[in-house]
Amino acid sequence: MPAVRPPAVAGMFYPADPLQLAHDVQEFLHEAQPRALNPKVLICPHAGYIYSGAIAASAYAVLHDIAPRVRRVVLLGPAHRAAIHGLALPDAEAFDTPLGRIPLDTKAMRTIADFPQVRVSDEAHRQEHSLEVQLPFLQSVLKDFTLLPLAVGMATAEEVAEVLEKVWGGEETLIVISSDLSHYLPYADAQSVDNTTVGNILDLRQPVAHDRACGATPINGLLLAARRHRLTPHLLDLRNSGDTAGSKDRVVGYVSIAFTEGEENG
């Protein structure tokens, strides 16, 4: 039997019941503002769905037109639970969620395994939520796809960009960067800080600091690749937990951004 990573945060970050989860994700997607875009890359938040699900849905909703063509998702997010150097692949062939099983792109995993900054670490993936919370949205929007999951630890932007370049692919490949923004600032302060951070991302300006985005390392690698590939960023949603389900005393910021190829304007 292939090694399978079971869901670690079902019932905490999102519903464990498949019917409730499918319903909630569809509700988020239905309420998202439609945009006519064909993204190559998405930046999405990764908090509990009650806090950031609506913001994440604004990104996944724009996949409607390209969904039939997407066959692989390259998913990068910060490693919260384990201190690792470089980018970590799991020792698995599939990831499970309450909505079903997602096969991993083991061929692509082998093509990057020889990079010195890439390693295999089950510890980095076992409890990691930044990747897992994206999966039910992907399963709800895409038809049939494989996953290339990377938990990103201590790495340079250049090291991340090198891996992205190797698996960039064509229209069959979607890249998703999982990141929240500032953490635990008062509401007005968070708005100011997050607006500055998002402005830098929209200008493809890096580095983004780690106190401005928990996924700063994969974002910075993306920004290098985005300049190289002449991607155009489009802001889809920018809010924080004070806007959704939390107190305004100490908030966490969330953003969804789509990056398109060529001169497409949304």
Q: Which candidate, 56, 73, 18, 46, places its Cα nearest to that of 129?
A: 46
In tens, the pLDDT along 231-247 reads: 999 999 999 999 999 89
Assigned domain for 64 exists: yes
DSSP letter assigned to residue 113: T
Point out which residues pair with 113 in neighbouring strands: none
Assigned domain for 201 exists: yes
DSSP letter assigned to residue 205: -
Query: What tokens appear for 83 in the block?
Result: 């201190």
Assigned domain for 5 exists: no
Average pLDDT over all residues of the chain:
96
Return the CATH number at 135. 3.40.830.10
Checking if the pLDDT of 137 tops 70, the result is yes
CB 144 within 8 A of CB 109: no
In tens, the pLDDT along 20-71 reads: 999 999 999 999 988 889 999 999 999 999 999 999 999 999 999 999 999 9
Q: Is the whole-model pTM more than 0.85?
A: yes
Checking if the pLDDT of 265 tops 90, the result is no
Structure confidence at residue 262 (pLDDT): 78
Assigned domain for 260 exists: no
Assigned domain for 251 exists: no
Element (H, E) at 97: strand 94-97
Element (H, E) at 55: helix 49-60
In tens, the pLDDT along 177-233 reads: 999 999 999 999 999 999 999 999 999 999 999 999 999 999 999 999 999 999 999
Checking if the pLDDT of 81 tops 90, the result is no
Read off the amino acid at residue 168: W
The maximal CA–CA distance of the chain, rounded, in angstroms, is 51
Number of domains in the chain: 1
Assigned domain for 71 exists: yes
Assigned domain for 69 exists: yes
Q: How far apart are CA 192 and CA 202, in angstroms?
A: 15
DSSP letter assigned to residue 104: B
Assigned domain for 74 exists: yes
Q: How many CB atoms lie within 10 A of CB 209?
A: 13
Q: Which domain holds residue 24?
A: 19-144+153-172+188-243
